[in-house]
Every structure is written in C-alpha cells, then in structure tokens.
Structure 1
Amino acid sequence: MDMISMSLLLLLGLLVLLGAGLWVAFALTATGLVALQFFSNIPVGTSLATSFYSASVSWELAALPMFIWMGEVLFRSRLSQEMFTGIAPWVGRVPGRLLHTNIIGCGIFAAISGSSAATAATIGKMSVPELTERGYDRKQILGTLAGSATLGLLIPPSIILIVYGVATEQSIARLFVAGILPGMLLMALFVGYVAIWSKINPDGVPSEAEEALPLAEKIRRSKPLIPVVLLIVGVIGSIYGGIASPTESAAVGVALAHLLSWYGGSLNRETFSQALMGTVKTSTMIAFILVGAHFLTVSMAFTGIPRELAEWISTLSLTPGMLLFALTIFFVLLGCFLDGISVVVLTTSIILPMVEAAGIDPLWFGIYLVIVVEMSQITPPVGFNLFVIQGLTGENILKVALAALPYFLLLLTGVILITVFPQIATFLPHQMGS
C-alpha cells in the first residue's frame, strides 16, 4: 500500500472514531495501534508502554497543571467583579468607550487563565449585562467578547502553547515570550476596529457624560487590578529574564494567586476545593490527550508516513507562502469540528516535517498555528467561544457568529501580518538567546 493510501486510511479511521463519540485520547491511541500493527514491524505492546511513560514524565508538562490551578484560583476570586470597575476609568473617553472593557478585560484574564472558553465565560458574565443595560450595540457587545476571548489561547501563560511545546519539543519559555507581541498586536487591532466602528456608528455607543479623571484617581479606582497585573508581569518577566523556568514561575504564580485570593476575602474551603478539582479534571484531560497524541506520533514515525509525506510535499514545489495558505484553510476547517488542543495534537506529527522541510521556523509556526486555531474558535458549527456566549446570552448561535465575523477577519489580518513580518513573533525569543 502506498503512502497516500495509508495516510487516508488512518485519517478516515481516526475521523470515524471521533465521529462515533470516542474520547480524543482513545481515538488517537487506537489509530496509533492500527498504524503499528499493520504498517510496521515494531512490537506494539513495548512501543505503547514506552511511549506512554516517556510522555508522562516530561518535566515541561508540570507547568500545565500549575498554570491551570493559578487560573482556577483567580477565576473564583473577586477579579471578575472588580475588572469592570478597574478598567472603565481608562477607556471612558476613548472612541468606543466601555466596549473596550471586553477587549482589555479578556486580555488581562487571558494572561491568568490560558483558556479561551474560561475567558469568554468570566468576562461575559460581568460585561454583557452591564453594557446591555447602558445601551451599547448588542451585536458589538457579542462580537468584542467572542473575538477578544480567543486571546486566552495566545497570551502567555497559554495552555495550548505548552501543549504545542511538549508535542514538538520546542522551548515553552521561548514560545511564551513569542506570544507576547502577537497578542498585543491582536489587542491593538481589536481596539482600533472598535474605535473606527464607533465613529461610523455613533448610535451604537451611548453618549454618557464622562468626567475627566486625574491620573491618581484612575489608579485609585483600578487598585483591585494592580496586584493581578503585577502577578502576570512577574510570572512572564521571570521567564523572559531567565530567572525561572515556566514550571518554576507557574508554581510561584499559584502561591501568589492563593495569596491574592486570601487577601481579597474569596479564599475559603469551598473555593479551594472547587479550584483544586477543576484543575485535576482539566489537567488530566489534557495530559491524557497528550499521551495518546505522543503514541500516535511515535507510531507514525515508525510507519515512515510523515517522512514520505514531507518528501511528497517537497515534490509539489510549494512555496512557504502557498503551504501556509493551504494549512490555514485546513486548520480553520479542522477547528470547526475539534477544540484547539485536539487540533494541535492531532496534526503536529504530520504537519511539522512538512513545515521544517519548507524552511519555516517551528517556533514561529507555533504562534501562527495558535492564531489560526483562535480563528476556528469563533467559526461555526463548533466554535467553542460561540457556544459559551450562546449559553451566557441565550442568543441564536448564528447571530453570535455574525457578530464575531469582523474579529475573525482581524485574526486573519494578524496571521498575514506575522507572516509578512515574522519578527513580530521571533524578536523577543531571539533576545533571550538559545
């Protein structure tokens, strides 16, 4: 059987298993077992045991539950209630006014939770009722929330970047740092769009009389957010400065998150237990998927499919730009049916050899991949952010998707910008050295 037939057969089998509702980890493992059993001479049992063990003892993977725990603790603190009050004084006189609280709030919470869905849920609970009551355009409220919540996948500490780093053996610290400037770029694009939209559609923004607050008063009103911002800066700054590894900084972040929660009066036996159980459930789910993905990667390597597929792609004489264009369409379509983490772990073993053969930096490709996966989070029928916002607001999912469409196009603009100017993603990691 030739390489293309083998690839299609395994892909079809994987899709059938996923379509049947089998857990992603089981589907990945089963596909790997079939690949080894029928398309290689490698002992299946030995390979399965060795692969599962090696994937489970990765030290880099220890950062995953730590960052999830930090997000779970702060998610249950008073941050969500205080965020609107803390951000509002800074945007009251900017075109678009309080619509920017969705964007900035999502940016801040993205740096805490690392999860797109958690960001949408937390900020949405606070901002949607408040902005609706004040008379802001409903479509723009939903759009800013849907689009900005995707930042949870990119702005470090990002769970999906940890997954990509473990799956591709890239430095998680360098990936985190690489996500900073693209994350800021996307926030700037969102803020700019809202400002322009508000000038064109003044009826969508209520004309509230805003007092001109002095700087000291703005800082005073934002006081509840300052410790959280310092926590984020400390965690990312310690990684960028080489003071701590991602795992070490995550452990410090967890301790400080508990301290902040205690100081704010929201830490008790119930919230501690809920945060701990939430962390265990999320971490084990992701780790289980990673173990299955690692076994599939090993199995695919033994079959020789990735190498032959990369060689076949090279015979097509695709330019890096043409390859990225094809991959963008592929990832967006795949993201319509799978969550972001599944997209990453399902594709890296196949795609990375092609990417490296085309001379594309795997570090840069990780940032590109995350932004494209962000696009899929607001693409029907299975855009996870759309479901979260639909559950929050009761709106029709197509209405939410239409509201998010401009932000999908802005994310696409971000992909184009980092492709034309790759230094946006690679500049800071290069300053860290190797």
Structure 2
Amino acid sequence: MTEAYATIVFLFVLFTLLGSSIWIGLALMGVAFVGMELFTTRPAGDAMITVIWASSSSWTLTALPLFIWMGEILYRTRLSQDMFRGLAPWMRFLPGGLLHTNIAGCTIFAAVSGSSAATLTTVGKMSIPELRKRGYPEYMIVGTLAGAATLGLMIPPSLTLIVYGVSINESIIKLFMAGIIPGLVLAALFGSYIVGWHLLRPGERPAGEPAMTLGQMLSESRFLIPVLCLVFAVIGSMYFGWATATEAAAVGVLGSLTLAAFQRSLTPATFFESLMGATRTSAMIALILMGAAFLSLSMGFTGLPRALAAFIDGIDLSPIALIAALTVFYIILGMFLDGISSVVLTMAIVEPMIRQAGIDPIWFGIFIVVVVEMAQVTPPIGFNLFVLQSMTRHEIGYISKAALPMVALMLLMVVLLVAFPGLATWLPNNLR
C-alpha cells in the first residue's frame, strides 16, 4: 500500500512540474525532494548534495561533452559537402539512386557525431537542395532523411548510449560495440525502403545521372577519406582496446579540429561557437542526469523499484511480453519527452524489471535506443520533425506522414532484435 501511495505522489508531482514548463532536470529533483521528505527520515538536502556530486564526478561521463564537442566542430566544417561528393558517384548505380546518399551520409556522420539532430542538420543542409535539384520526390527526400538521421542515436559514439550506460553502470565501450551491427542493419532496412520505392513507383524516378569514368569516381571518393579516417580513429581505438571511451572522445576532438583546420573552416569564431554549443548541450544533459540520480536514490528509499520488480516476477510475465509492453510504453513516453529524458526518467524502475526478467542490459540498451529513435520522428515532440520543418518549411503533419514508413521499419528492427538477440550481443561478447 505504501508503494502504491508513493507511486501516486511521484507521478502527480512529476506531471505537475513538467506541465508547468520547468526544466526536466529541475522537475526530477523536485519529485525526488518531495519523495525524500514524505517517505524517508534522511535529510533531503544532504542526500541531494551527496548523490549529485557522486553522479557528476564519474570519469566515464567525461566522454559525453567531448563527443558533443566533436559533433559541434564537424557541423561547422565542409563535411556534408565532401560526403555528398564522395558518395554520389557510387550511389547512382543503386535502385533509388542518390536518395541513398541520405542513408549512407547519415550512417557515416552518425559514427562521428552521436547526435540525431546534428546528423540531420549536417547531412540535410547538403542533400536536400541537391536531391531537389535532381527531381527526387519531396516526400522521399524528407522521409528518408528523417529516419536515417536517427542513426545518430544508435551508431557509436551515441550520446543516448553514454547516458544509459552511466545510469545503470554498464560498460560504455560494450554498449558502443553493441550498437554497430544493429545500426548497420537498420540502415540497410532504410535502404530497402528506397529500393522498394524505385521498383514500385517507376513514374517518380528522376532522370539518370551523367556518365562518369572509373577514374572520375575514384577521384571524387577522395573527399570521404578524412571522415573515414576519423571514424576509424574513434571507433577502432575503442574496439581494439587502444583507448577507453573518454580517451577515444579526446582523439575525436583532436581529429575534428585537425580536419576543420585542413579545410580552413576553423576560425576563432567557429571554435568559440562549437565550444559554447557543446557547453550548452552538455550542461542540459548533466542537469537531467543529476535529477535522475537523485530521483533514483529517492525511489530506492521508498522501495518502489524493488516492489515493481517483485510484482513483475509475481505475474510471471515472459521477457517477450515485457519487451512488447515496454515498446508501447516508450513510444507513448517519447511523444512528450526527448530520448535522453525518457531514458534517465525511467531507468530507476525499468532496470530492476529487466534484470528480474533475465534480459541482458547490453541488449536492452540497444532496444531502448531503437524505440527512442521512433520518438525523434513522431509528433507532437519529435525533435527531428522540428529540425526538418525549419530546413524545409513543410508542416509537421506532412513530415510525420513522410517519415511513417521509417517508423514502421524501426518497429521491424525491434522484432529482429527480439528474434536475433545476437545482433546486439555478439560484438560486445567478442571484444578483444
């Protein structure tokens, strides 16, 4: 009965604070403070200071602002133009033509960004005008870009996976490795959608690209070399055990600064803008994590997570049924909260449930990223929708409808993860 009362109080205070437009991090702290005052005898202020310092001083968390800074630096370079020039000669032969540059470009940039919005903006600012100029259907340009940009949350270095790993104290490197194969499979699913459009709607195909010799194609491909070297430096250094996630993030920052300098796009102004952009984003995420850590402590004192885990165990819910329920839950939650907030808000309760059900937390991290990806392109708070609206001037409804097939493919990805869990677990289990 105490747990039920605590649940009602927590939810009431949470939705009241969120509904009053208070920052999510402060709302979480407010809920935790009320819980500590009502259900425990420990001084709430003392507990808050202790847990916030402990959660904020994590060395693993240092990777977060570094990866964010790396993405901010690359966003201000000529990377998107170079990627399009390097990819276009090879994409032109595929069914669907240059639409595949949206998928391939987002996949490559996701490997050096970690952010869905940064991936969308960087790739979109070049691909949208180029694809429009060549006569590709607008709904295909918008839809494929909206879906493919979510790969920034899956393919390492993923900010969401860092937050998830810190929240449940799992290896960041293993989570990064777990995201590689599912990320590539999801990219292949997006590519298959383009192939299907090409075959089923021949009347919408634009005119073919001018012929190019092999020498010209290889010459254009040189523009991909810098970003591919950066991808190898960041991901390869972690996979081969040469660097931790934090060290790889530092390598990525140095590499992106070097790349920007060689492209002559590194000026004092762009350096300062990238640094301030990374500071703002990092501070926002840090505040959310602080509030989540305090909320986890408060819930732990009430016994709510343990009681919920025991309840799940008592009704003998199968792991597949639990995953199905959590899929619906996170899709609904993602309609109102961004991905990182959804993760940190729920981990205190969800983690005991999945461990009680025998679900691998590494696998679950990839699952939760896929369902959080859906939230990026579903109204009313799908962040990618707003970014695309500012870039294309289309209505949110139009963009949502264009992205709907990509959401269906993400649901298919959840099914594939359940049917073939090795997609997420094989690589981290075989780390050197």
TM-score by length of 2: 0.98
For 1:9-408, what aligned pairs fall within 5 Å after superposition? 9-211=9-211, 213-214=213-214, 216-408=215-407
Between the two proteins, the alignment pairs up a number of residues equal to 432
Checking the alignment, whether the CA contact within 8 Å between 2:115 and 2:159 is kept in structure 1 is yes
| Aligned-partner Cα distance in 2 for 1:310–1:73 | 43
Deviation at 1:212, TM superposition (A): 5.0
Distance 1:151 1:92, change over 3 A: same
Residues 292-312 of structure 1, C-alpha deviations (whole Å, 9 max, x = no match):
111111111111110011111
Equivalent AA in structure 2 for residue 20 of structure 1: S
Checking the alignment, whether the CA contact within 8 Å between 1:181 and 1:425 is kept in structure 2 is yes
Deviation at 1:202, TM superposition (A): 1.5
Deviation at 1:209, TM superposition (A): 4.1
Distance 1:98 1:209, change over 3 A: closer
| Aligned-partner Cα distance in 2 for 1:287–1:280 | 10
Residues 203-260 of structure 1, C-alpha deviations (whole Å, 9 max, x = no match):
222122442542x532320212211111111211111111110000111111111111
Q: Tell which deviates more after alignment, 116-125 or 64-73.
A: 116-125
| Partner secondary structure for residue 218 of structure 1 | helix
Checking the alignment, whether the CA contact within 8 Å between 1:117 and 1:385 is kept in structure 2 is yes
Q: Tell which deviates more after alignment, 423-432 or 101-110.
A: 101-110
| Aligned-partner Cα distance in 2 for 1:157–1:240 | 12
| Partner secondary structure for residue 42 of structure 1 | coil
Distance 1:4 1:213, change over 3 A: farther
Residues 167-201 of structure 1, C-alpha deviations (whole Å, 9 max, x = no match):
11010010000000000000011111111211111
Unaligned runs of 5+ in 1: none
Checking the alignment, whether the CA contact within 8 Å between 1:165 and 1:175 is kept in structure 2 is yes
Equivalent AA in structure 2 for residue 284 of structure 1: A
Q: CA RMSD in A?
A: 1.1
Checking the alignment, whether the CA contact within 8 Å between 2:114 and 2:159 is kept in structure 1 is yes
Q: Tell which deviates more after alignment, 198-207 or 98-107.
A: 198-207
Residues 95-142 of structure 1, C-alpha deviations (whole Å, 9 max, x = no match):
000101111111111112211111112212211122112110111111
TM-score by length of 1: 0.98
Counting aligned pairs with the same residue, the percent is 51
Equivalent AA in structure 2 for residue 335 of structure 1: G
Checking the alignment, whether the CA contact within 8 Å between 1:93 and 1:210 is kept in structure 2 is no
Checking the alignment, whether the CA contact within 8 Å between 1:306 and 1:349 is kept in structure 2 is yes
Equivalent AA in structure 1 for residue 291 of structure 2: G
Checking the alignment, whether the CA contact within 8 Å between 1:89 and 1:213 is kept in structure 2 is no
Checking the alignment, whether the CA contact within 8 Å between 2:134 and 2:206 is kept in structure 1 is yes
Segments of 4+ moved more than 4 angstroms: none
Equivalent AA in structure 1 for residue 125 of structure 2: K
Equivalent AA in structure 2 for residue 397 of structure 1: I
| Aligned-partner Cα distance in 1 for 2:213–2:193 | 25
| Partner secondary structure for residue 222 of structure 1 | helix
Q: Tell which deviates more after alignment, 303-312 or 122-131.
A: 122-131
Checking the alignment, whether the CA contact within 8 Å between 1:114 and 1:155 is kept in structure 2 is yes
| Partner secondary structure for residue 310 of structure 1 | helix
Deviation at 1:425, TM superposition (A): 0.2
| Partner secondary structure for residue 430 of structure 2 | helix
